[in-house]
């Protein structure tokens, strides 16, 4: 368990399947309270969205994930007054987190984090536990990790948001500031690159 300094425990990166459908009046009111310096409102925001942001940050850099999430929430606190309610709180926070991750990567030349065990368990059958099979699985997932690291930044982020976070193309377009067709194209290219990367291991 990884307790953030904000006091919210995170047990690991998992796929997100649900985001609120629209920004409600309650969300707007919450952001208004935060912009006014309300600590309790900010604590509620952190409780609601820590896991969501951690999922993205973890897949960019596992060792720096906590720092990236904390920086994302710090920026959300500093810029709470800019939230207009035209987009969802989740999309607004995703956008901040994406910018923090890309900025951190650019400054530090960091590579993407290893894929977590949960994703491996979802993708790999457990019926064959022979040592040689386990070795083959490990080689495949190391290759997948390398392939993800090699993706251009936008393709990598679209892949994370769509395939690992379960966001819609509309949400991804809103978060990354691109249109839906560009999001689809980036995902298609990312999958094609990964397929080519992994092809020698999965023939």
Give residue-wise pLDDT tens across range 30-57.
999 999 999 999 999 999 999 999 988 8
CA dist., res. 70 & res. 85, Å (int): 22
Examine the domain organization and report whether 45 and 20 are in the same domain: yes
Residue 182 is predicted with a pLDDT of 95
| Angle of the 25-35 helix axis to the 39-60 helix axis, nearest 10 | 100
DSSP code, position 110: P
**Same domain as 132, residue 187:** yes
- Residue where the block lists tokens 């978060």: 175
Query: Which residues of the chain register pLDDT less than 70?
Result: 1-24, 106-145, 200-203
Among all chains, which residue has been given the structure tokens 């790999």? 124
Boundaries of domain holding 185: 117-202
Question: Six-digit token pair at 39?
Answer: 């600590």
CATH number at residue 59: 1.10.1740.10
pLDDT at residue 5, rounded to an integer: 55
Cα-trace Rg, the chain? 18
Q: Give CA torsion, residues 40, 62, 102, 18, to 10 deg.
A: -60
Cα angle 139, 144, 147; round to 5: 125
Domain boundary among 80, 108, 136: 108
- The pLDDT score that the predictor gives to residue 9 is 52
139 and 68 part of one domain: no
- As for how many domains the chain has, the answer is 2
Is residue 27 within 8 Å of 80, Cβ to Cβ? Answer: no
| In the chain, alpha helices (H) | 25-35, 39-60, 65-78, 89-108, 117-123, 131-150, 153-159, 169-176, 180-202
Residue 128, classed as helix, strand or coil, is coil
Cα(173)–Cα(162) distance, integer angstroms: 11
Same domain (yes/no): 27, 50: yes
Q: 55 and 85 in one domain?
A: yes
Of 46, 57, 82, 76, the C-alpha closest to 160 is 57
């Amino acid at each position: 368990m990884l307790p953030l300094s904000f006091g919210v425990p995170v047990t690991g990166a998992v796929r997100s399947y649900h985001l609120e459908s629209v920004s409600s009046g309650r969300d707007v009111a919450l952001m208004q309270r935060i912009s006014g310096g309300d600590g309790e409102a900010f604590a509620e925001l952190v409780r609601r969205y820590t896991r969501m942001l951690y999922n993205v940050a973890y897949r960019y850099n596992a060792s720096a994930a906590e720092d990236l999430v904390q920086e994302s929430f710090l920026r959300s606190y500093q810029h709470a007054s800019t939230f207009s309610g035209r987009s969802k709180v989740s999309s607004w926070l995703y956008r901040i987190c994406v910018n923090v991750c890309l900025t951190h990567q650019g400054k530090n030349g960091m590579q993407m984090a290893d894929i977590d065990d949960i994703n491996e368990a979802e993708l790999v059958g457990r019926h064959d536990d022979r040592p040689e099979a386990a070795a083959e699985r490990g080689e495949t997932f190391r290759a997948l990790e390398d392939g993800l690291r090699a993706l251009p930044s936008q393709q990598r982020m679209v892949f994370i948001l769509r395939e690992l976070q379960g966001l819609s193309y509309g949400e991804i377009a809103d978060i990354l500031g691109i249109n839906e067709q560009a999001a689809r194209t980036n995902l298609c290219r990312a999958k094609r690159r990964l397929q080519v990367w992994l092809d020698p291991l999965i023939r």
